Structure 1
Amino acid sequence: MNQSPNQTRSFPVLGAAYMVSAGVIFAAINVLTQWVTGTYHFSSQALAFWQYGLSLVFFLPTLLKLGAGAFRTAHPVAHVVRVVFATLGVQFFVGALAAGVPIAQVVAIDMTSPFIVIVAARLILGERIGPHRALATTVGFVGGMLILAPWSDSFSVYSLLPLGAAAMWAGSSVMTKQLAAVERPESVTIYLLALLTPINAAFLLTSTGFDVGSAFALPGGTVLWVVLALAALTAAAQYLLTLAYARADASYLQTFDNVRLPLNTLAGWLVFAYAPDGYLWIGALMIVGASLYLLRTEAGKRIDNEPVPA
């Protein structure tokens, strides 16, 4: 895919800020997801469908402002491939949370994706990894594994679901970077939300034995309010994620994506009383330290082949 002809200095600090902001929102999303599926036994397939379907509704004001131009693209296949990756990642991830796997453990396993992203970014996007990125990503990943503690009793077969999510979201991240280099962030976001809905609907229909009535029955009461909140948060998080990839390298951003782990661990501790052991604090310190190290070494650098910020 060709780069945008308008190339200038990238804004890695701004990209990192967008990524961390998206991580804070995703932590709230994960807490609400595990709470509504566990407390009200709302199915993960139904939740994924309504969450992303209604996110599209929340994004409509931006779509109306942009007009039909938001759907103009020279790369329709890339959008479809990205959305297929993202949909499978959503199904695996939400399924793990619905199964009751602790949020910190789900996110820790999902953190295997940076290795996949770095390799893919090098092979597909031609990005330079460099020793600083390699060191920071490795330290962050080791910190995640300390929190995961696969030797502990809490590690179950359901913990394997986020491995699938990690691989799928790694592919989605690389495709997001490619698209963000040549298209507006709003267009990248709207295609994700628009194409996710019918694919999630297919998963939902399959889970209900193609019973259309029960599959698409709108939830009521508290569940409806939670789903609406999830939809609004998801629209905001996806937009921030796209803005991040529009301003910095995919491999550079992965270390800041690791900040999700201590955020989600703290959220799970406060809401679900999940009491992590001492490895949590060591791992969290390694992740935050790696992020700050990478920010210091790369802030202000000129990075080639970056698009002009929107």
Structure 2
Amino acid sequence: MHSAPSQNPALAASLILAATTFIAATTLLAKALGTDALGAPLHPMQISQGRFMFAFFGISAAVLALRPRFQRPHWGFHIGRTSCGWAGITLLFASVAHIPLAEATAISFLNPVFAMLLAIPLLGERVGPWRWGAAAIAMAGALILLRPTPAGFQPAALLALGAAAVMGLELIFIKKLSGREGPLQVLWVNNLLGLLIASCAVLPVWQMPSAAQWAALAALGLVMACAQACFINGMARADASFVAPFSYATLVFAAVYDFAVFGVVPGWVTVLGAAIILVGAAVLAWRETRPRPAGPPPASV
């Protein structure tokens, strides 16, 4: 077990906002690498391999400088968490090459909904009407973004939906890891395992990146490492109910970056679907972090 840092809501909010700018930047870099913006498009698995490689280098440098005391990792939970994280980020990187960043980001916000659904069989949790209602609202927003009509359906949106589902499973493993190990150890082990998994998976599709693509891959990994560090430290310094709304700023930054670099203007369907998903996610976050009465757990929440 590790000692928790002191509570500081203002610092927590700043850290979470910083994390959202970094996370949105990683999707922007992934889009540039997955399209012809920097040369011949790279395969999503190569983009995720670069993300884990350079993030591991950055976090290893921090470990060498800070020399934290590591304890024995729970390898089973780490392997499960990292496998899901690698699969989720690869699917997300694949989707942003074909659909607007704002849409892919909004759909990825469904991961808490999938985590709630998976917690029923995997953690034995019981789900009450409030949580089912929040999930239904978020899923309605996703359905709008998927545009399930012959004229508007975008198959790439299913990649983002798959990313959200796998990342929902990752949250189950993160919940099991919570409190067991220090943040820097979790980051280092996660990126070490991610690099190993991604390096094996990329072999059939790897191609030599251009100089600009190498620079973008390095930036992607280092920016993701910064995002992870900010997010974990922000979550540790305030209640989840306080910091959760700030994480939704990722959607705003993704839309701004997409417009500034690629000239993509979100349409009314994107705005409507994203807003509905955010409402559902916010209701679910509020319900998940609401104080529970002492004593035996209620029959439903």
TM-score normalised by the chain length of structure 1: 0.74
Q: For 1:15 and 1:153, how far apart are their aligned partners in 2?
A: 44
Aligned to 1:260: 250
* Conserved 8 A contact 1:121-1:250: no
Aligned to 1:47: 47
Q: Does 1:171 align with 2:161?
A: no
Aligned to 2:183: 185
Q: Give the gaps of 5 or more residues in structure 2.
A: 295-301
Q: Output one character per residue of 1:142-161: Cα deviation in whole Å (capped at 9) or x when no partner.
A: 55554554448453222211
Percent identity, aligned pairs only, is 24
- The residue type paired with residue 21 of structure 1 is A
Query: CA 1:127/1:186 → structure 2, altered by over 3 Å: closer, same or farther?
Result: farther
Q: For 1:9 and 1:80, how far apart are their aligned partners in 2?
A: 30
SS in 2 for 1:25: helix
Query: CA 1:68/1:248 → structure 2, altered by over 3 Å: closer, same or farther?
Result: closer
Aligned to 1:36: 33
Query: CA 1:153/1:244 → structure 2, altered by over 3 Å: closer, same or farther?
Result: farther
* Conserved 8 A contact 1:269-1:275: yes
Q: Does 1:224 align with 2:223?
A: no
Q: For 1:281 and 1:266, how far apart are their aligned partners in 2?
A: 13
- The residue type paired with residue 18 of structure 2 is S
* Conserved 8 A contact 1:105-1:148: no
Deviation at 1:77, TM superposition (A): 0.8
* Conserved 8 A contact 1:48-1:90: yes
Q: For 2:56 and 2:4, how far apart are their aligned partners in 1?
A: 31
Aligned to 1:158: 156
* Conserved 8 A contact 2:111-2:164: yes
Match of 1:23 among 17, 20, 23: 20
Q: For 1:86 and 1:250, how far apart are their aligned partners in 2?
A: 21
Deviation at 1:163, TM superposition (A): 2.1
Deviation at 1:289, TM superposition (A): 6.5
- The residue type paired with residue 180 of structure 2 is V
- The residue type paired with residue 185 of structure 2 is S
Residue correspondence of structure 1 range 104-253 to structure 2 within 5 A: 104-121=102-119, 139=137, 142-143=140-141, 145-147=143-145, 149-151=147-149, 153=151, 155-208=153-206, 215=207, 217=208, 219-244=209-234, 246=236
Q: For 2:129 and 2:56, how far apart are their aligned partners in 1?
A: 40
- The residue type paired with residue 192 of structure 2 is A
Q: For 2:50 and 2:14, how far apart are their aligned partners in 1?
A: 28
Deviation at 1:130, TM superposition (A): 7.4
* Conserved 8 A contact 1:173-1:250: no
* Conserved 8 A contact 1:114-1:251: no
Query: CA 1:246/1:201 → structure 2, altered by over 3 Å: closer, same or farther?
Result: same
**For the aligned residues, what is the CA RMSD?**
4.1
Q: For 1:196 and 1:207, how far apart are their aligned partners in 2?
A: 17
* Conserved 8 A contact 2:4-2:236: no
Between Structure 1 and Structure 2, how many residues are aligned? 291
Q: Does 1:56 align with 2:46?
A: no
Q: For 1:231 and 1:148, how far apart are their aligned partners in 2?
A: 29
Q: For 1:121 and 1:244, how far apart are their aligned partners in 2?
A: 24
* Conserved 8 A contact 1:174-1:250: no
SS in 1 for 2:99: coil
Query: CA 1:288/1:111 → structure 2, altered by over 3 Å: closer, same or farther?
Result: closer
Aligned to 2:87: 88
Deviation at 1:172, TM superposition (A): 1.2
Q: For 1:68 and 1:7, how far apart are their aligned partners in 2?
A: 14
SS in 1 for 2:167: helix
Deviation at 1:95, TM superposition (A): 1.7
Deviation at 1:33, TM superposition (A): 1.3
Higher deviation after alignment, 13-22 or 182-191: 13-22
- The residue type paired with residue 161 of structure 1 is L
Deviation at 1:197, TM superposition (A): 0.7
* Conserved 8 A contact 2:88-2:162: yes
Deviation at 1:48, TM superposition (A): 1.6
TM-score normalised by the chain length of structure 2: 0.76
* Conserved 8 A contact 2:100-2:266: no
Query: CA 1:234/1:6 → structure 2, altered by over 3 Å: closer, same or farther?
Result: closer
Deviation at 1:228, TM superposition (A): 1.8
SS in 2 for 1:24: helix
Q: For 2:241 and 2:126, how far apart are their aligned partners in 1?
A: 9
Q: For 1:205 and 1:112, how far apart are their aligned partners in 2?
A: 31
